[in-house]
Structure 1
Amino acid sequence: MTVSVVLFTSDLRLHDHPPLRAAVDAADEVVPLFVRDPAVDRAGFAVPNRLAFLADCLTDLDAGLKERGGRLFVREGDTVDEVCAVVRRAEADEVHMAAGHSAFARERERRLRKELESAGCRLYVHDAVTTVVPPGDVTPQGSDHYAVFTPYLRRWSAEPLRAPLAAPRAVRVPSGLRSEKLPGRASVADVSEALATGGETEGRRRLGAWLSRHADAYETRHDDLAGDATSRLSPFLHFGAVSATEAVHRARARGGPGADAFVRQLCWRDFHQQVLAARPETAVEDYRPRLDHWRRGAEAEADLRAWREGRTGYPVVDAALRQLAHEGWMHNRGRLLTASFLAKTLYIDWREGARHFLSLLVDGDVANNQLNWQWVAGTGTDTRPHRVLNPVLQGKRYDPHGAYVRRWVPELAELPGASIHEPWRLKGLDRASYEYPDPIVDLADGLARFRHARGRD
């Protein structure tokens, strides 16, 4: 009787799962294993929204395995120690897992390979499980990664993709193995009120529904704040409950400008992964330093607090930050606006904003969160690093009737039309009739400060 172990990490699904398929094909019995590693929590993962979504994903994964005659085994402790303990107990010959691309994941893989080899067990690491194109597969001449998105997109788009794999029909597991109790969402405190339900079942339902009903309009509507026309698949992609490779295949099969624009966003996800894989220090350090001397002190702390609370006095910025608190998710245009406002208009260190996002975002991903923040702050890969987004003009453009602001800033709901983006300009307005702060900074002053700091004045 041969046994293989499948270590699930950021790939919590049964469909299009190369490590699981390889393990099922190679052995009579398979141990589907997930390890709750305290080191991952210490690295910043253990925030309520992601823990709750993770619990949903694990519950759904376990249910899918049970439908196929198996189950999910959950252990808690150091990943390497727990995998090796399962290998010894099950007398497994092989361990299969998806490749990880962060410094943490690569060190985990190195340690695991060393320990398993000393025990006579082989480790198989599978690429293109959590990304479409593995980091390092496409590189420019003379460099180990692409620093500009457009040439990366051209190469990425030309890469042949593996065909998606069907979920296994049966998964036979060995008896006598210990498992911790599956975590449940109900056990997690302080979860955002409207946090989405996680799991592969929900992710596949959303992908299919969005492609059939909304993909055609995506190219023209993806920036529409009130229309909310994005796929909202980012949490499922982050946890691997939906395969990015399968999503690309299905979008390309549908075709059209909207599907193409959606695939472009999946390419952005891979682009940031390949930057972080090549430059792991950019999780905390500037990719392209600008010699910034970010604002510090009591006044900057007060501005940062107002930003976090959605009380800046700029309605579209405040609306997006309140959406984040309520849903654990934020519209992509809102992410750009709020990040630009903090890093450039308030001139506060982008790391403060990235930290706040990671404390709430259910799709909080180190590569995409940190490098998108750097892109907006002008310390990353943006080819126009000194651009500043004007929240009033952006609000009028992407929320022209003020519907998004009215949804999330109810104290302004009665203000007329697009004037909601500049409530302080309304004549004869009874300021005592609503509780909304004055702007914490004049946009012209913030722009002048930023340009002076970057030597652009």
Structure 2
Amino acid sequence: MTDDRTAVVLFTRDLRVHDHPALAAASEHAGRVVPLFVLDDAILSGRNAAPNRAAFLVRALADLRESLRERGGDLVLRRGDVVTQTLAVVAETGATALVCSADVSAYAQRREQRLAGACQEQGVRFRAYPGVTVVPPGALLPAGGDHYRVFTPYWRAWTAATWRERVAAPGRVSSGDLARIGRLPAATDLSGGATSPDLPEGGETAGRAVLARAVRRAGDGEPDLDDLAGDHTSRLSPYLHFGCVSPLEVAHRLTDDAPEQVRQLAWRDFHHQVTAAVPSVATKDYRRRDVEWRDDADGLRAWQRGETGVPIVDAGMRQLLREGWMHNRARLVTASFLTKNLRVDWRAGAAHFFRWLVDGDVANNVGNWQWVAGTGNDTRPNRVLNPLRQAKRFDPDGDYVRRYVPELRGVEGAAVHTPWTLPDDLRRGLDYPDPLIDV
């Protein structure tokens, strides 16, 4: 039953209309719904500035605005401090309720606390709904603990959990007359610097098309997700990061035919529940290890550019620069090379990934980096992913390397992984560096 009350729906990392619990609740219970997105200067500045994510975000906002307009509403845009701007819109519209989706980073938790406090002071109802993960962080707790520290027992609990019901996209979003909508920004308004040339298209429309392709492919049998050259991954991670697709809907639609992809969603939830419980994991070691990191500016720079002389590592790093995305197996290999072979602090690697990854978020990016570095949730902290063995196993014919390292396209077969072993006359003609270290 709706009434004449107004509710503001604050969008953050949930840029969609399908399976959006906060939007659905507001549309059901309030007569007027004001969708709002605040371009938060705290996120768009400093180390968080990321041109690739800015480009994706702008397209996602345009797509969200179009979806809302098709339903009779609109998307209000503001820029500045998210709490100040949100409460200003609440006051402008006479709203009596504010809803959003709960998130897990330290910043997101502080934002939610500030919103709740400000709403309480002004007599406005506030509620944060689930929607960023399949299972909400904190819903699954081990005996005697506030979160799961190891994935396997979490996976067992996750698979046994009852998921919430998906909610349909509202048929109508009645926003009424809005005095000031706000213009859509250009990507350059949000972040300076170069963008990757082959970025995915942002937005829910594109995300649902990618999901539909993943469902069709899964129906033919789940391929080997670790096959680097085959590139059989769903490519859904940017859309999950920005909430252009619902992780719960992805899990439901893939659970029968693509169990390994659903397991990856459980890993995503696992890292989110760790971050929710220990927000400092974004910058500090989750588990203290006796690790002495090396100050190797030249090695770090070569790694960032994909010029380490180790082809499988360079291919992954160049894929990142070209696409703003990297195959998951390549992420593990490149991260292991930096932290375990070069002995460079994981934070330097995570910062570079944050700069370029469209799907870069605190929970997944940092969780995986710490897992590889041996400071996180890996039960084998001394694990080293030897790049040559990884290349032989997951790119046996060298096609992945040749795709991203043009200097080596003339090298046939698996020899592409060890160009330093080629005869001197062939090696000199490659214009490819010697390996930084003996691997």
Tell me the TM-score normalised to structure 1 length: 0.93
Q: What is the number of residues matched between the two proteins?
A: 434
Opposite residue 162 of structure 1, the aligned amino acid is R
Superposition pairs of residues 192-341 of structure 1, within 5 angstroms: 192-214=196-218, 216-218=220-222, 220-252=223-255, 255-256=256-257, 259-296=258-295, 300-341=296-337
How far apart are the structure 1 equivalents of 2:218 and 2:280?
A: 38
Distance 1:176 1:61, change over 3 A: closer
Mapped to 1, the partners of 2:46 and 2:34 lie a distance apart of 27
The answer for the alignment partner of 2:40 in structure 1 is: 37
Where does 1:182-197 land on structure 2 (aligned, <5 Å)?
182-185=184-187, 190-197=194-201
Query: Aligned equivalents of 2:266 and 2:426: distance in 1?
Result: 49
Aligned to 1:363: 359
2:149 corresponding residue in structure 1: 147
RMSD: 1.3
Task: Determine helix, strand or coil for the equivalent of 1:39.
Answer: coil
Question: Identical aligned pairs, as a percentage?
Answer: 53
Out of 397, 404, 412, the position equivalent to 1:401 is: 397
Alignment of 1:42-121 (within 5 A): 42=45, 44-121=47-124
Paired position in structure 1 for 2:349: 353
Equivalent residue, structure 2, for 1:124: 127
- Provide the C-alpha distance between the structure 2 equivalents of 1:374 and 1:396, rounded to a whole number of angstroms: 25
- In structure 2, the residue matched to 1:374 is 370
Query: Deviation string for 1:176-222 (max 9, x for gaps)?
Result: 4313211234766521100100100010111011111246543x510
Does structure 2 retain, via aligned residues, the 8 Å contact 1:329–1:361?
yes
Match of 1:166 in 2: 168
Give 3-state SS (helix, strand or coil) of 1:40's partner.
coil
Q: Distance in 2 between matches of 1:264 and 1:55?
A: 30
| Residues in 1 aligned to 2:125 and 2:197: alpha-carbon distance in whole angstroms | 44
Correspondent of 2:412 among 416, 434, 452: 416
Q: What is the alpha-carbon distance in structure 1 between the residues aligned to residue 359 and residue 167 of structure 2?
A: 24
What is the DSSP-based 3-state SS (H/G/I as helix, E as strand, rest coil) of the residue aligned with 2:128? strand
Which of 26, 29, 37 lines up with 2:29 in the alignment? 26
Unpaired runs of 5+ residues, structure 1, are 444-457
Partners of 1:86 and 1:281 in 2: CA distance: 32
SS at match of 2:43: helix
Alpha-carbon distance, 1:288 to partner: 1.2
Shift of 1:431: 2.9
Structure 1 CA distance, aligned partners of 2:245 and 2:401? 31
Distance in 1 (alpha carbons) for counterparts of 2:221 and 2:391: 21
> Quick one: distance in 2 between partners of 1:55 and 1:228?
27
* 8 Å Cα contact 1:315-1:409 kept in structure 2: yes
Of 121, 131, 137, which residue of structure 2 is paired with 1:135? 137
Match of 2:385 in 1: 389
Alpha-carbon distance in 1 for matches of 2:145, 2:363: 19
Paired residues of 1:56 and 1:184 also in contact (CA < 8 A): no
Q: Output one character per residue of 1:374-433: Cα deviation in whole Å (capped at 9) or x when no partner.
A: 100111111111111111111111111111111111111111210110011123543331
Runs of 5+ in structure 2 lacking a partner? none
Bigger mean CA offset, 422-431 vs 346-355: 422-431
From the superposition, tell whether residues 277 and 215 of structure 1 become closer, same or farther in structure 2 (CA, over 3 Å).
farther
Query: Distance between the aligned counterparts of 2:45 and 2:52, measured in 1?
Result: 16
Q: Which moved more, 1:42-51 or 1:405-414?
A: 42-51
| Residue 434 (structure 2) pairs with residue 432 (structure 1) | no
The question of whether the paired residues in 1 share the 8 Å contact of 2:211 and 2:236 is answered with yes
Name the SS for the 2:100 alignment partner. strand
Deviation of 1:12 after TM superposition, in Å, equals: 0.3
DSSP 3-state at the match of 1:35: strand
Q: Structure 1, residues 31-63: CA drift from partner, whole Å, max 9, x if none? A: 000001111223633210000000011000001
Letter in 2 for 1:265: Q
1:281 maps to amino acid:
S
Q: 1:420 to 1:176 in 2, by over 3 A?
A: closer
**Is the CA contact 1:90–1:174 (under 8 Å) kept in the aligned structure 2?**
no
Q: Determine if contact 2:51/2:187 at 8 Å carries over to the other structure.
A: no
Corresponding residue number in structure 1 for 2:11: 8
Aligned-partner residue type, residue 344 of structure 1: K
Amino acid at match of 1:164: R
TM (norm. structure 2) is: 0.96
Match of 2:338 in 1: 342
Distance 2:363 2:97 in 1: 30
- Deviation string, structure 1 residues 117-151 (Cα, Å, up to 9, x no partner): 22111101112x00111111111111101011010
**Matched letter for residue 68 of structure 2:** L
CA distance in 2, matches of 1:67, 1:401: 49
Distance in 2, matches of 1:249 and 1:344, equals 37
8 Å Cα contact 1:59/1:184 also seen in 2:
no
